[in-house]
Structure 1
């Protein structure tokens, strides 16, 4: 067991964990933050997406000890002061059905919008030298491709992100 100090949603938590405990399991099983979902547990579905220092990661692929002293934001921390615009947009645009993937979708969209604003390329971006690419539906879908929705609510998810990006 090792002592791990995690900063999650603005609070610091000291945990005694085995070094092999994933960040996902630390959040869900040790901190009771069950909004982050365990989907595939292999990094393929994005249900476990959280933000670390503002960047999106798959928590199932990360060891908790790797993220000691870093700022972790889960869906419980998104809009904790006031609702995040993406939360309202997902409701308005029917960006979910069963809701299982929604927490990962929203965390990923927050990170993706920040990446886009910073000029990070994607497979759809035509030419970065010309400046930031427009956030078209194709661009949104490419940038969100690591997050799966088993219900197929992709049109609503894309519309919700586009609404916030405008």
Structure 2
């Protein structure tokens, strides 16, 4: 089955960036483990199709270190991190593919806030050089559970620890 025939883009396209130290390890992880189609690449960067969003891995001399951590319910998650919201079926298929490949999770796939607004599945893991990745399921892949409860909030698909562009209010001038 053609992987792209399963993908429906319902919101704006984003660019996600991760830093990696080893091109061969990055190509194996993002291309073979995450099964992301590779786009244009050079000797210092690789572009990937992340569910029709652009993920760029920049190759640097040394592995990145997280800036810190933040509390995610009872778990500690690295920041910054990037990732994507998926529908529930894709989330579980993706989690199983990661488990089968032996990916070590910082936070195992689990249901967050059961029975509450914003209930979702979430998982945290890292790329080969330590880039933090987070994938979530919100029940509606095009809706960010962190903002969809707010009146009039626009749908948002990608996330990277920053508000979606449509979620930012532009300053007005008189």
Normalising by the residue count of structure 1, what TM-score does the alignment of the two structures yield? Answer: 0.26
> Which structure features the higher share of strand residues?
2
> Which structure features the higher share of helix residues?
1
Normalising by the residue count of structure 2, what TM-score does the alignment of the two structures yield? Answer: 0.25
